[in-house]
Amino acid sequence: MPSQRGPRRLTPAQARQRITRGHAALLDVRETYEWTAGHAPDAAHAPLTRLLAGAALPPSAQGRPIIVICRSGNRSRQAVEILANSGVEATDVTGGMVAWAAEGLPVVDDRGDTGFIA
């Protein structure tokens, strides 16, 4: 089993702080229609279905600790297991994008305008 540094789960505020400081990359594992409607700024996108099929991480998420987010936290926990089993340091966000938006953290759509959680 790969070693895991740091906590397995973060609050949205803790995740935002780590991402803003450059300590980790944010990876959104929701489906494309969810991503298009609204996602965290600076997040990379790789749907869980692609990760399950063995797809590579987006370039901005490669070689870095990863914070994984989905809508509510279920898919992100699955993605953390997949990534950890591949030797990637991965943590997920408790409550996902629903909690992220509820905490007033920024959400943008695919055009960079204010987005919403689908």
111 is catalytic: no
Residue 39 in contact with residue 45, Cβ under 8 Å? yes
Kindly state the average pLDDT of the residues 41-58.
95
Residue 94 in contact with residue 87, Cβ under 8 Å? no
What is the assigned CATH class of domain 14-102? alpha beta
- Cα–Cα dist 50/53, whole Å: 5
Beta-carbon contacts of 102 under 8 Å, excluding residues fewer than 6 positions away, are 95
Tens digit of pLDDT for each residue in 63-91?
999 999 999 999 999 999 999 999 999 99
Whether 1 shows a pLDDT value over 60: the answer reads no
Kindly state the average pLDDT of the residues 43-58.
96
Tens digit of pLDDT for each residue in 2-30?
444 445 799 999 999 999 999 999 999 99
Please give the pLDDT value at position 43.
97
Please give the pLDDT value at position 2.
41
Please give the pLDDT value at position 8.
76
Q: Which of 40, 51, 70, 97 is catalytic?
A: 70
Total-model pTM: 0.92
Where are the domains positioned within the chain? 14-102
